[in-house]
Amino acid sequence: MDAEIKTEGKFRYLEIGEGAPIIILHGLMGGLSNFKGVTNHFPERGYQVLVPELPIYDMPLVKTTVKNFAKFLEKFIEFKKLDKVIVLGNSLGGHIGLLHAKLFPEVVKALVITGSSGLYESAMGDGYPKRG
């Protein structure tokens, strides 16, 4: 099965399969093609797989915060009229999924994060933690 890239409204995403929704979030330097094995595996087992392209390069630099990406994810979920989603996030996508689950727990059935840090103290702000 091959997924086609869809563009609807302000969203660009892959969608394949029918059933319980799994939303996959790519990392900072990732893209829609990073999860081909997953997008081919789960639809055959009764899942709808969606991979939204995060607006990392479309947003003004000062608005590229984990919190704004979590809000973007919620708008995508609302746009697709989804409920009780499984969120799978890699790297930055995991961080976004974690914050989204904290902000919008009512729509998240499960969260899977890979290669991702956890949430950091709120005193550090909404952006990425800085070194040094």
pTM summary value: 0.83
The residues that bridge with 16 in the sheet, in sequence order, are 49
| Close Cβ partners of 106 (under 8 Å, ≥ 6 residues apart) | none
Q: What is the Cα–Cα distance from 79 to 48, expressed in whole angstroms?
A: 15
| Domain assignment present for 43 | yes
Residue 45: per-residue pLDDT:
93
- Asked if residue 87 lies in contact with residue 101, where contact means CB atoms within 8 angstroms, the answer is yes
Residue 124: per-residue pLDDT:
45
Question: CATH number for the domain including 63?
Answer: 3.40.50.1820
The pairing of strands 11-16 and 4-8 is antiparallel
Q: What is the mean pLDDT of the chain?
A: 85
Q: What is the mean pLDDT of residues 48-66?
A: 88
**How many domains would you assign to the chain?**
1
The pairing of strands 47-52 and 11-16 is antiparallel
Domain that holds residue 103: 4-124
| Domain assignment present for 83 | yes
